[in-house]
Amino acid sequence: MDRSDGKRRTLTQEVVEGILDIIKSGKVQVNEAIPTEGQIAQMFNVSRTAVREATRTLIAHGVLETRRGIGTFLRDPAPGPLRSPDLTTWSGSSKALMELLEFRMILEPQLAALAARRATDEDLAELKRCVIELEKGIARGIKPAEDLGFHLALARATHNGSLIDVAAMISRFYESDPYLPTSADVTEHDAIFEAVRKKNPTLAERKMRVHLDTLQALYSLRASS
C-alpha cells in the first residue's frame, strides 16, 4: 500500500470540511458552481487529487453534483442527518453491522431492480465510472470513494428521493470501515451494473443479493475471528 494513503485520506477529510465551510458561508448558492478544482487546491494548499476525492465524497452524499462539460455545482447545502458527510461514524460493532446488512438485504435488491427500470444514460455512465475507479483504487491499495459511491449512484438511478436518503444514511456507517474492498467487489458491482444496463430488474435484484450474501459471509467471518 502507498505509505501516503493515510495522509491523503486526512487531507481529503480536511478538504471536505473546507468545501462545506465555503457552502455554509453562503458564497455558493444552490445550482451555482463551486470553485474549480485548481482554485480549491490553491485555497487549501493541497493536491488536485485530494480535491478530487473530497469532491467525489460530497457528490456521493448528494451535497454536490457534476454537470458534464460545465463543472461541479451545489445541489443541497443542508442535507440533514441522513446525508451528513460525517467521515467518523464507523461504530466497530459487529452486531450493529450485521443488523445493517440484514436491512440492506431487504432494501437493496429491490432498489437495484427499480434502478434497472429507471436508469438513464447518465446514471449508467456514473455506475460504470464507479466500477472502473473501484478497480483502479484496489490496484493502488486504497478504498476509493467509488466503492460506496456505486451504491449511492444505484440509489440515484431509482430517481426516488427517499431511497437516495436511506442509501446515503447506510453509507455513513461504512465511511471509516477499516477493511479495503477486493477484486470480488469489482466483479459483483460490474455484474449489477450490467443487469441495470440491460434493464433486467430480476437479474439486477439477484446480482445484488449475491453481493450482499458475500458481504454478510465476510463480515461474519471477521466477527468470529
For the domain made up of 88-224, the CATH class stated in words is mainly alpha
| Residue 59 CA: distances (Å) to CA of 54, 92, 132, 140, 148 | 9, 25, 17, 22, 11
The pLDDT > 90 percentage for the chain reads 55
Q: Check residue 144 and report its DSSP letter.
A: -
Q: What is the mean pLDDT of residues 193-204?
A: 98
What the block records as the C-alpha cell of 99 is 443488523
Q: Is 89 helix (H, G, I), strand (E, B) or coil?
A: coil
Lowest mean pLDDT segment, chosen from 145-159, 161-175, 178-192: 161-175
Q: Over the stretch 105-146, which tens digit does the pLDDT of each residue have?
A: 999 999 999 999 999 999 999 999 999 999 999 999 988 989
Topology (CATH level 3) of domain 5-81? Arc Repressor Mutant, subunit A (1.10.10)
pTM of structure:
0.65
Q: Over the stretch 41-90, which tens digit does the pLDDT of each residue have?
A: 999 999 999 999 999 888 877 789 888 888 999 988 765 544 555 544 44
Q: Which residue ranges make up each domain of the chain?
A: 5-81, 88-224
Q: What letters, b where the CB count within 10 A reaches 16 and e where it falls short, cover 98-121?
A: eebbeebeebbbebbbbbbebbee
Q: How many CB atoms lie within 10 A of CB 49?
A: 14
